[in-house]
Every structure is written in C-alpha cells, then in structure tokens.
Amino acid sequence: QVQLVESGGALVQAGGSLRLSCTWTTFNSFTMGWFRQALGKEREFVSAISWSGLTTIYADSVKGRFTISRDNNKYTVYLQMNSLKPEDTAVYYCAAGVTTPTYYSDNYAFWGQGTRVTVSA
C-alpha cells in the first residue's frame, strides 16, 4: 500500500506563488498526478508526470503557470504554482498510478488526503 502525503497549501494573494509537495512512503515507479477540487465542483485534473520525469501533461487552465517535477530519491513530487488566480482555490490532491500520465482520475490507484490552497483576490 502506497501512502501519499501532501503539504504546502496556504492562503496566498492573487499573482503569488506556492509550491506543493507530495511524499510517498515506499519505492515505486508510478506516474504521479495532481488533481484539485473546488467547493461545490467536481474534482479536476491539474498535471501529471511519468516516473522518469520525461513526460508531463497539464490542464489547459494551468499550462504556463504550473510546473510539475519529481525527485525519486526523495520520494517526492512537486507542483510549482505561479501567477495564482482566485479560480485556483481548491483542495489539491496527489495521486499515484501505473499508467502513462493521464487526465483520467480512474487511472490513479492511490490518493493523498489533500492540501488546501486559497487564493484571495
């Protein structure tokens, strides 16, 4: 069983930056993904990265502002979020899956508990 723990969520002003981290407990070669869920909305894909780090994908809404990366030696995946907007406010979830990076949440078998990001106008 893989356990995922997110951190880094905070309250930030629009235009600011945050870096989220997600640490897992055991060695794995999983694709890692970030999803988010705003209050009253469905969970949506944000970004994903292959085990090697060579393949990354992004939702159109964050492309050019967010960057995903990983350090397998530290068992950690990061989401650098720049130029934050109020519409980025959500709980952000880290997920691990065995497929190539994908937008589909069903392809991710393990999930963290989430970290809250609030962007004030």
* 46-76 b/e (C-beta count within 10 Å ≥ 16 → b): bbbbbbeeeeebbbeebeeebbbebeeeebb
Contact 49, 70 (CB under 8 A): yes
40-97 pLDDT, tens digit per residue, is 999 999 999 999 999 999 999 999 999 999 999 999 999 999 999 999 999 999 999 9
20-38 pLDDT, tens digit per residue, is 999 998 877 899 999 999 9
CA distances from 17 to 11, 31, 80, 100, 121 (A): 10, 24, 7, 28, 14
